[in-house]
Amino acid sequence: MTASTDASGAPVILTEVRNRIGIITLNRPERRNALNGALIEALDVAVQEMADNPEAKIVVLTGARRATTGPWARRRAPPRTI
């Protein structure tokens, strides 16, 4: 699991590797997993960690609970390239 957390201390990204499949879970279900600056930064780190992990042969990006990734959060972060 990566170290980035939201204001409540909950991790905004969860990562794991199962059966050579890297799984990155966006963990902001209360915001329907909408992207914001903190989530984008954590996603960047998580993707790099998966790229560096020899056990992860493919990566699946998913969202926590029923909510899937939406567009940007209402409080937009400055544009950034991942």
For residue 11, give every residue at least 6 positions away whose Cβ sits within 8 Å of its Cβ, in sequence order, or none.
1, 2, 3, 4, 5, 27, 42
CA-to-CA separations, 36 to 21, 26, 33, 75, in angstroms, rounded: 26, 11, 9, 7
Model confidence, pTM: 0.76
Ranges under pLDDT 70 in the chain: 1-3, 67-82
Q: How does pLDDT run across 40-60, given as a tens digit for each residue? A: 999 999 999 999 999 999 999
